[in-house]
Structure 1
Amino acid sequence: MSAPGEKRAAAEGQYVTFGLGAEVFATPVGLVREILTYQTPSRIPNSPAYLLGLTDVRGQGVPTADLRIRLGMAPVDPTLNTRILVLDIALEDRMLSLGLVADRVFEVTTFAADQIEPAPDFGIKWRSDYISGVVRRDDGFVVLIDLPRLLSTTGEAATLADMAAVDQAA
C-alpha cells in the first residue's frame, strides 16, 4: 500500500494511445478489452454529468463515461473518429467493466522505462495523482493516465459498478 500523496510510476510496456482534443493520453494495453466504434449510450437518469449512460457490449450493459468531462475538458459532439475503449479495471473488491469515450484512438505502442518521465510537479494544488508519467515525443507529450486511480479515489468506481449491476439485474 502506498503512502497518501505518493504517485505510482508508470511501468514499461505496451500502451493504447488516444486523443482528447489536442492532448494525447495512454493507458496500459492490459486494461483495454476492446475498442468500439462510437454508439450513443442509453442515458441513465440522475447520473453524474460525465456518465453518458450504458453501452451494450456483447449483451452486457457497460457504464460509459466521457473522459473529456471527467478531466474538466469541454464536451464535444462525436465524430467518425470517436471511439469507446472498453476497459476491465480491477478494484479492491471486484472487476469493473467501463467504457471511456475518446475523440480518437491512435495506436498500440511500447514505451521503454527510459522513455517514461515521472509525473510533473505542477507546484499548485491541482489533482494530478492520476498521471503516472509522461513520454516526450517530437510532437509533444503523451500523458500516461492511471485510470483505476482516477476513478477509485473519488468513489466514482462504486457508482459505476452499481449502475452496471442494476442493468444486469433488469
Structure 2
Amino acid sequence: MKTGGSETQFVTFALGSEVFAVPVSVVREILDHEEVFRIPSGPAYLLGLRNVRGQGVPVIDLRLRLGLSKTEPTPHTRVLVVDVPVAGRVLTLGLVADRVFEVAAFTSDQIETAPDIGVAWNSDYIEGVVRRDASFAVIISLARLLTETEVVALAATQGKAQAA
C-alpha cells in the first residue's frame, strides 16, 4: 500500500453492494433511519423532512439520486446528516445509506480519478476512487451531486421548515 501524500478521513457506507465515501469533515452525525414528513410534488429522490435537533433537514434517497433502485429500509439503514458547502452557503441534508461501515483514512496518492470508460456518462459527482482489497470505494463530491436548481429548491424547502 502507498503511504505518501496527505491523509484525509472519510465515512464509508454502502448503497447495495457498492461502497461510497464522504469526508468526515462534512458529516454532522449519523442517525438511525426513521420515517420522514413527506413533501408533496418534490423530486422522487427527496424523501421528505426530518427533525434533527430542532432543524428541518431534507432527506435524500441517495440510491435514487445516483440512478439506483429505491432504498428498502432495513435495521442497518442509516441517515448521514451532512453540511454541504454549495453556492456560497451551507446546505444541511440527510443522506440515506443502506449501511454505514467505518471512518477510513485515505492518502491523496491512494485516490484515483474517475475511470474513463470511453463514453459520456455522468461522473461529475465522483471525486475519486480508492482501491480497497478486492473492491473499490467511490468518493462522492456532495457539492457536485446536486444541480444548482436542486440546491436552491432544497435550500428553500429547508428554509420553509425552519420558519414553520
Normalising to structure 2: TM-score of the pair? 0.93
Question: In structure 1, what is the equivalent of residue 92 of structure 2?
Answer: 97
> Is contact 2:64-2:71 (8 Å) kept?
no
2:9 & 2:71 partners in 1: Cα distance? Answer: 28
Deviation by residue 1:1-57 (Cα, 9 ceiling, x = unmatched): xxxxxxxxxx74000000000000000110100000001111000000000000110
SS at match of 2:155: helix
CA RMSD of aligned residues (A): 1.2
Q: Which residues of 2 match residues 1-170 of structure 1 at below 5 A? A: 12-151=7-146, 153-170=147-164
> Could you tell which deviates more after superposition, 112-121 or 14-23?
112-121
CA distance in 2 between partners of 1:32 and 1:58 (Å):
15
2:94 is aligned with what amino acid?
A: G
> Matched residue pairs, number?
159
Checking the alignment, whether the CA contact within 8 Å between 2:78 and 2:97 is kept in structure 1 is yes
Taking the aligned partners of 1:120 and 1:42, their CA distance within structure 2 comes to 38
Gaps of at least 5 residues in structure 1 are 1-10
Contact 2:61–2:71, Cα closer than 8 Å, also in 1: no
Query: 2: distance between equivalents of 1:78 and 1:70?
Result: 16
Residue 127 of structure 2: SS of its match in structure 1? strand
Give the ranges of 4+ consecutive aligned residues of structure 1 lying more than 6 Å apart after TM superposition. none
Unaligned runs of 5+ in 2: 1-5
Q: Name the stretch that deviates more: 90-99 or 59-68.
A: 90-99
SS at 1:155's partner residue? helix
What's the CA shift for 1:134? 0.5
Q: Which has the higher strand share?
A: 2
Q: TM-score, normalised by structure 1?
A: 0.90
Partner Cα separation in structure 2 for residue 132 and residue 68 of structure 1: 17
Tell me how far 1:93 sits from its aligned partner.
2.6
